[in-house]
């Protein structure tokens, strides 16, 4: 997603060192499938529908944390957008993503996922304002740092 000017000085992406503590298996508190769809605002002001699939609870540096996993209407594609204490400092300010199209978010059972924050990545809008990227909803803003995955692109 880089434009020609960015390609001239692009030297690669930057990542945290692998953090084994942020590769975990978590139980999911499933939410009723009858819940209405939610709408996420995007970086360009558009809106995208998602279903709240479930809530995960975990710890980071002995601090409790929770995030909501979202899915498409059919529950086949899973999406975990989040912001954390590194957002806007060491990582992209609008947040990062995990999804089931990478090893980052693997459903093991209806109520269990393997989550690996080492695969957290920046959305395309981190590289170009021409992309429309869902913004993590406030319920997925963490006060703890997720020091894993992709760092800010500058």
Segment 26-66, tens digit of pLDDT: 999 999 989 889 999 999 999 999 999 999 999 999 999 99
Distance CA 56, CA 149 (A): 19
For residues 119-144, average pLDDT = 93
- The phi, psi pair for 77, rounded to 5°, reads -105, 125
Give a yes or no: residue 153 inside a domain: no
87-121 confidence digits (pLDDT tens): 999 999 999 999 999 889 999 998 999 999 999 99
Q: What residues contact 32, with CB distance under 8 A and at least 6 apart?
A: none
pTM for this predicted structure: 0.92
Give a yes or no: residue 60 inside a domain: yes
Give a yes or no: residue 100 inside a domain: yes
Give a yes or no: residue 149 inside a domain: no
Give a yes or no: residue 150 inside a domain: no
Domain that holds residue 96: 4-140
Number of domains in the chain: 1
pLDDT attached to residue 1: 66
Q: Where are the alpha helices (DSSP H) in the chain?
A: 4-9
């Amino acid at each position: 997603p880089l434009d020609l000017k960015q390609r001239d000085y692009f030297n690669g992406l930057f990542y945290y060192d692998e953090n084994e503590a942020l590769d975990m298996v978590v139980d999911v508190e499933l939410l009723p499938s009858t819940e209405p769809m939610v709408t996420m605002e995007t970086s360009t002001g558009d809106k995208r529908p998602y279903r709240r699939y479930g809530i995960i609870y975990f710890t980071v540096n002995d601090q409790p944390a929770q995030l909501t996993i979202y899915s498409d209407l059919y529950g086949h594609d899973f999406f975990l957008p989040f912001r954390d204490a590194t957002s806007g400092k060491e990582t992209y300010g609008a947040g990062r993503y995990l999804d089931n199209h990478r090893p980052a978010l693997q459903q093991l059972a209806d109520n269990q996922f393997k989550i690996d924050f080492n695969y957290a990545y920046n959305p395309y809008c981190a590289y170009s304002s021409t992309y429309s990227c869902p913004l993590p909803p406030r319920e997925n803003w963490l006060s703890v740092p997720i020091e894993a995955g992709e760092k800010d692109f500058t």
